[in-house]
Amino acid sequence: MVLKIFFPQCCNRADSGLLVGRWVPGFDSVVVLAVIHYPFIPGQVKKYLSEMQSAIQLELTVLGSWSMPKDGQEGMDSFLKDLSTIFPQGRWLQLSRELGKRGFACQVIGRDAAVPPRGQPKEGGDDEKEKVIFIHYDQRKVMLSHLHPAHGQEPAAEGVSELRLVFQTVAQSQPLFFLDKYDDGPIKLTHWQSEGREASILVELIKQASVPMCCVLLRATGVRVTGSWRVLNMWPVRFVSSKLSTCVQLSHRTEHLQTISSPRRAQQHADFMRKANIFVSFLVDIALGLLLISWLYRENRIGRLANTLVPVADHVAKELQELLQWLMGAPAGLKMNRALDQVLGRFFLYHIHLWISYIHLLSPFIEMILWYVGLSACLGLTFALSVVSDIVALLTFHIYCFYVYGARIYCLKIYGLSSLWRLFRGKKWNVLRQRVDSCSYDLDQLFIGTLLFTILLFLLPTTALYYLVFTLLRLGVVLLQGFIHLMIDIINSFPLFAGGLRLFRPYRLAEGVKFKVLCEEPGMSLHLMMEINPLKLSTAVQQYRIPTYSCYPKDSWAALCKKLFVGDLIYPWTPLHKGSKED
Amino acid sequence: MSEEKFTDINGKPISLECRSHSSFCREFVVSAPKVSLRAVMVCTCAVWLSAYAAFFVTKNTAVLSSAIVTTLVGMMVHIHLIKIDHERLLIVGSLGVQVSSCFASGRESATFIEMSSIKDIVINEAIHMQRVIYYLCILLKEPSDPNGVSGVVPLFQSSKPRLNCLVKIYKSCQEILGQC
């Protein structure tokens, strides 16, 4: 069997001492974490290791001895051999380096003190020769990195992976790396931080300030949420606020704030990434919103916007009126039913007249409303976009009403036609059995039914034309609103922190590892260099997407077309009702 | 290090290099033919001639500069993302197998598969367009079923060597897999 020794790069030039690490359970491998230097007292080393073991919850042991010869330090070999009796282990490793050679030499001593010859890479040896592979790793990068489960595998099934155990060992041994060589203690260690711990004053200050700020934020969002529940529990307010995308966005962001401001530190990597992503996207959102405000409130742009809004609404209304006049005449050469045409046309024209009067009533206040509403962009660009979406929805409310009227009339007509068509053929819809059965009708039933059928059939083209025109208009508005909502969704859900981490610190998100064979010398064991293979950017973005209230249409294209044909109302998006929170 | 005359399934010559770092660590490098100068010249001339023709018709210099930019961008995309220079298989007994492809620009993309999830390395047959070819692949273990295969990782997909080359690599790999 081949013994794999994971050796940190920082200890390549360490002075002679004891190797401290962990034997990986279930595999024939060992992870070296640090080197304890001479002089040391064995009793204190054992005490330190048992303290560390209880702190880290890992089985840290003394693995063996490390000898790096320097001038004037001969005679270490016999001293090193005696150490194995002080620290009784199952296997004792004796690693040594020679001056002028790049490879390591390793001797493995079993518990029964049988000493096999040095590990030779040549063929034709005995079966008892222990072959050794040295795998060099960068301790800091492996400690900070998170190994993601392979594509398509659940995390639970990955428990027996050797590399995962190695990564976990190094990551969990952080307390071991707190002692550096400037500490006055009985133990002198070499690891990646033994030159002294580095930290940034800003980061430490932010860490200290974050806890009280989190408590304040939590208190603030909690108060706002509970205080307004009484008002929001009334049905009309709840209904309206579920339709307005601004309110939905507001509740979404409040949830995010609550997630960020929880005072408990994130234990799992996924929780930490989620919090960080939400925080960064929140900051970027607010920054973009403030940028928008600074651009919008200059040079009286609000005033100009308000001044163009009413003429635009007027223009839209005029176009609609012309459209209706066209429909009331002979649109595209089709001959309509005169009476029905006039009724529907006048009905819709009256609606437009009402709408325009309301707009004109509001026109002196529009600038002020816009000015105050524009200030809400300081809460984030997503708010500004949702306000725009709501304004579009309000301004095209009459198109929505026309669509609903047209769709309802058309829908009734289609149902009536289908049921009377069945009567025409002598059949009936059996509600109990949910199928079509034959039925014998009386003569007067047949007479009235056929009459009504003929009337509805000949009125169908007129209604269908109105339905078609208003559905197309409504679809246009829906497309525009859908585009705005898509932008909002992208800003809400894009994981900026994960993307930035992948670009600037790629070793922190690891998909796997890469090995490189280091140049070998004859007579020495195999040395490999283990590097971290970072996650692909697309995978990182996909995995760490922030979940949103995702208002994508639930219907497929076929179902949508069927609904349009039959006349069912289409709701392109229904924001998820946050009813569960009120329980 | 050994090199013999191998070809890929289309008849183009490729080269195989076997390196043995130790009794349980071997590396195989299959190199495809390099970017041929003739193909580059033909493409560039075609693009530029059509750009000159368009310029002659429209008298707009933007056509010429866009042709230059297109050629440059196309070449960079080709050597960085499309043209694979050589494919490498590193097998380390009791650790795992590393499969990597190196592109013409020097970029290397590697995947490492641990020995505990490898069931076997076999030569399989496949129907590729209108012919049947042989390819070397790694069978992955199914965690729940000891006899099942959860996935197949095909090796040397872009260089597609022929059977004689595959047999050589297969024999070498089986020696190492048999040891652990």
Beta strands in A25-149, from DSSP E residues, in sequence order? 29-37, 61-67, 92-97, 104-109, 131-137, 146-147
Asked if A457 reaches chain B (Cβ–Cβ under 8 Å), the answer is no
How many angstroms separate the CA atoms of A37 and A18, rounded?
Answer: 6
Nearest in space to A135 (alpha carbons), one of A517, A554, A577: A517
- Out of A121, A160, A514, name the one closest to residue B112 (CB): A514
Q: How far is A123 from chain B (nearest CA, A)?
A: 6
How many angstroms separate the CA atoms of B36 and B40, rounded?
Answer: 7
Asked if residue B12 lies in contact with residue B159, where contact means CB atoms within 8 angstroms, the answer is no
Residue A117: what pLDDT? 40
Percentage of chain B with pLDDT > 90?
62
Q: Where are the domains of chain B?
A: 2-33+87-179, 37-81
Determine whether the interchain pair B111/A515 forms a contact, defined as Cβ–Cβ distance below 8 Å: no
Residue range B107-136: mean pLDDT, rounded:
92
Chain B's closest residue to A4, CA to CA, is: B95
Asked if residue B93 lies in contact with residue B176, where contact means CB atoms within 8 angstroms, the answer is yes
Q: How far is A146 from chain B (nearest CA, A)?
A: 16
Asked if residue A65 lies in contact with residue A17, where contact means CB atoms within 8 angstroms, the answer is yes
CA distances (Å), A148 to each of A26, A441, A537, A540, in order? 21, 71, 13, 10
Nearest in space to A4 (alpha carbons), one of A580, A513, A493: A513
The pTM for the full model equals 0.81
- Out of A160, A525, A533, name the one closest to residue B110 (CB): A533
Q: How far is A537 from chain B (nearest CA, A)?
A: 14
**Predicted confidence pLDDT, tens digits, chain A (583 residues):** 788 999 999 888 888 888 889 998 888 899 999 888 877 888 888 888 888 889 888 888 888 888 887 765 655 666 666 777 777 777 888 888 877 777 777 777 775 543 344 443 333 333 345 688 899 999 999 999 988 887 655 555 545 788 888 998 898 888 888 887 777 777 888 888 887 777 889 988 988 888 888 888 878 777 666 656 666 567 777 777 777 888 888 888 888 888 888 777 777 888 889 888 998 999 999 999 999 888 888 888 888 888 888 888 888 888 888 988 888 877 777 778 888 888 888 888 898 898 889 888 888 888 888 888 888 888 889 988 998 898 888 888 888 888 998 899 999 999 999 999 888 888 888 888 888 888 888 899 889 999 999 999 988 888 888 898 889 989 999 899 989 989 999 988 899 999 999 999 999 999 899 999 987 777 778 889 999 999 999 999 998 988 887 656 666 788 888 888 888 887 765 544 333 333 3
Residue A125: what pLDDT? 36
Top residue of B28, B95, B141 to mutate, by most chain A CBs within 10 Å, is B95
How many angstroms separate the CA atoms of B86 and B103, rounded?
Answer: 7
Asked if residue B54 lies in contact with residue B46, where contact means CB atoms within 8 angstroms, the answer is no
- Out of B21, B112, B143, name the one closest to residue A513 (CB): B112
Q: N- to C-terminal Cα distance for chain A?
A: 61
Cβ neighbours of residue B104 closer than 8 Å, sequence gap 6 or more: B34, B35, B78, B79, B80, B83, B84, B85
Nearest in space to A67 (alpha carbons), one of A54, A56, A51, A83: A83
Give the H/E segment covering residue A45. helix A42-56
How many angstroms separate the CA atoms of A467 and A404, rounded?
Answer: 9
- DSSP one-letter string for A197-257: ----HHHHHHHHHHHHHHHHHHHHHHHHHHHTHHHHTSHHHHHHHHH-HHHHHHHHHHHHH
Q: Which two tokens stand for residue A148?
A: 């993601």
Asked if residue A550 lies in contact with residue A575, where contact means CB atoms within 8 angstroms, the answer is no
The ipTM assigned to this model is 0.86
- B17 or A123: which leads in pLDDT: B17
Residue A264: what pLDDT? 75
How many angstroms separate the CA atoms of A489 and A381, rounded?
Answer: 11
CB-facing half-sphere around the CA of A240: CA atoms within 13 A: 7
Asked if B20 reaches chain A (Cβ–Cβ under 8 Å), the answer is no
pLDDT at B170 over 90: yes
Residue B180: what pLDDT? 72
Asked if residue A549 lies in contact with residue A576, where contact means CB atoms within 8 angstroms, the answer is yes
Interface of A with B in 485-514 (CB under 8 A): 512-514
Q: How far is B155 from chain A (nearest CA, A)?
A: 17
Asked if residue B93 lies in contact with residue B101, where contact means CB atoms within 8 angstroms, the answer is no
- For β-strands A61-67 and A146-147, DSSP reports them as unpaired
Mean pLDDT over all residues of chain B?
90
Residue A71: what pLDDT? 65
CA distances (Å), A371 to each of A293, A297, A301, A452, in order? 10, 9, 10, 56
Determine whether the interchain pair B24/A131 forms a contact, defined as Cβ–Cβ distance below 8 Å: yes
pLDDT at B85 over 80: yes
Residue B3: what pLDDT? 53
Residue A529: what pLDDT? 93
Nearest in space to B91 (alpha carbons), one of B27, B151, B47, B164: B27
How many angstroms separate the CA atoms of A438 and A420, rounded?
Answer: 13
Which residues from A are below 8 Å from B22, CB to CB?
A: 121, 131, 520, 525-526
